[in-house]
Structure 1
Amino acid sequence: MKNFVEQECEMRLLIAPGHSIGVETRLSYDPDDPYAVHVDFHTGLHAPVTWLFARELLAQGMFGPCGQGDVRVWPVGTGSRRMLCIALAAPDGQVLLEAPSALVEQWLQRTYRRVPPGHETQMLDLERELCGLLGKKA
C-alpha cells in the first residue's frame, strides 16, 4: 500500500482584479518521488490537470518569493488572511492561483514527517532508476 500524503483544498483562480473562481485541488506527495509534489486541478474536464514541481519550492514560497520560469510561489497577506500565490506558466497561457497558507503549511508538515528535508536521497532507489533510464532490468 502506498503511503501518499494528500490534501484536498480549494484554490482561487484569479481572473481579474477583485474577481476569482474556486478550483478544487488535490496536493499529493509520494515518498517514492521525494523531491516532488503533485498538484491536481479539477477543472471539470474528464481528467484533472496535474502540475509537478519541487517540494522545496513550495516550502520556500511560504516565506518569500521563489521560483523562476514555469512555477513561481510567494506569500501574501497576514494572519488568518495569509495566502500563498502560485503562478503557473505554460505555452498555452498563464494562471495565478491563491491557496490557503495554513492548509498548505499543515500538509507540508505531514510530508516532512514522512520524509524529513535533507533525507530525500535515502528514499531513492538509484540503481532501479538508472536501469529504467537505460532500458535494463534492475
Structure 2
Amino acid sequence: MSHHPSAGQGPTPAPESGVSRWCEGSALLEGLVTVPVTVAFRYDAADPYAVRMAVHTEEAPPVEWVFARELLIEGLSRPAGLADVQVWPVPRRRRHLEAGRGAVNIRVSSQHGTTVLTVQATSLHAFLDRTLGTVAAGAEDTGPQIDAALASWLVLKGPDDGAA
C-alpha cells in the first residue's frame, strides 16, 4: 500500500530558480544567407546577471552564448551592447514593439564570423518578464549565493598571522 500526501501536506516546492524559453527566428549568416533557427534562452537565479542563448539549426550543432541579462532588457527598446553582442529593436518604432508586431535583432560576433539573429519581441519580452519575476533588476547581488561565494573567497588573517 502506498501513501500519497494530500494537498497542503508535505514540503513546499522551492521557488523557481531557472527560466527558459524557446523562440523561433532566423539567422542572417555573414550577411549572405538567411536560415530558420530556434533560439533557446536560459536564465538561472544562481547566476543572476547572465542569460544563456543557444542557437539551434538543422545544419550544425547548437552554439551557446552567455551575456548580460541587462543587454537584452535594454535592447528591447533601443540599441544596446558593444563588441561581440549587440541587441536592437526592429522596427525601431516603439508602438510596433508594444503591439507585438516587432522583432529584436541580436548580433553575435566571434573569430569565426558574425550572425544576426531575429526573434519576436513578444517572445523575448515574455522570457525577460519571467526572469525579472525570479530575480528583480537591481536585486541580483542580494541573494545568499553571493554571500556564500564571498565567504569562501575571503580569508581573514589576525594580527598573529606571521606577517612581519
TM-score, reference length from structure 1? 0.84
Q: 1:92 to 1:64 in 2, by over 3 A?
A: same
1:112 equivalenced with 2:126 (yes/no): no
Distance 2:100 2:73 in 1: 18
Find the counterpart in structure 2 of residue 73 from structure 1.
87
Q: Residue 131 of structure 1: CA displacement?
A: 3.9
The CA deviation at 1:80 is 3.8
Is residue 72 of structure 2 the alignment partner of residue 51 of structure 1? no
Aligned residue in 1 for 2:39: 25
Higher percent of residues as strand: 1
Q: Is the 1:23–1:42 contact (alpha carbons within 8 Å) kept by the matching residues of 2?
A: yes
Task: Give the Cα–Cα distance (whole angstroms) in 2 for the partners of residues 62 and 28 of structure 1.
Answer: 17
User: Is contact 2:36-2:57 (8 Å) kept?
Assistant: no
Indicate the percent of aligned positions where both proteins have the same amino acid: 32
Q: Is the Cα–Cα contact under 8 Å of residues 75 and 82 in structure 1 kept in the other structure?
A: yes
Question: Which consecutive residues of structure 1, in runs of 5 or more, have no partner in the other structure?
Answer: none
RMSD: 2.5
Q: Residue by residue, what CA displacement relative to the aligned partner does 1:4-27 show, whole Å, maximum 9, x if unpaired?
A: 10001112112457x622111210
Q: Normalising to structure 2: TM-score of the pair? A: 0.71
Match of 1:81, SS state, is: coil
Summarize the Cα distance change of 1:85–1:125 in structure 2 as closer, same or farther, 3 Å threshold: same
One-letter amino acid of the counterpart of residue 86, structure 1: I
